[in-house]
Amino acid sequence: MIIQMVKFESKLPFEDVLSVAQGRAPKFRKIPGLIQKYYVRTNRPNQYAGVYIWDSPDSMTKYRESDLAASIPQAYQVFGPLEIEVYEVALTLRD
């Protein structure tokens, strides 16, 4: 299992970020291998993150090469670079 975190700063107000995320959620529900996605607001002003739980590195790679992944900056009016971190799950507390 793989955890991917994509952080970004948005020009949009919080309510608009939520609206965009809700509008895009059905597309994410259809992605093969995406177990879960959390939409989070960080403790920094105007910074948000998507936390993705993938079944495999291959599923994550296919998504990262997709038009949906490429559309993040435009959809959320991102300024600055996306910060992407990837982690391999070594152990889980619950099944």
pLDDT above 90 (res 79):
yes
What are the sequence ranges of the domains in the chain? 2-88
Q: Shortest CA distance to 53 belongs to which of 73, 38, 63?
A: 38
Q: Which pTM was predicted?
A: 0.92
Q: What is the 3-state secondary structure (H, E, C) of 14-52?
A: HHHHHHHHHHHHHHHHCCCCEEEEEEEECCCCCEEEEEE
Q: Residues 66-82: what's their mean pLDDT?
A: 96
Q: Residues 36-48: what's their mean pLDDT?
A: 96
Instruction: Tell which CATH classification among 3.90.1150.10, 3.30.70.100, 3.30.910.20, 3.40.50.720 matches the domain 2-88.
Output: 3.30.70.100
Q: Shortest CA distance to 46 belongs to which of 24, 16, 21?
A: 16
pLDDT above 90 (res 95):
no
Instruction: Give the C-alpha distances (Å, rounded to integers) separating 23 from 2, 29, 66.
Output: 25, 12, 18
Rounded to an integer, what distance in angstroms lies between the CA atom of residue 72 and that of residue 80? Answer: 12
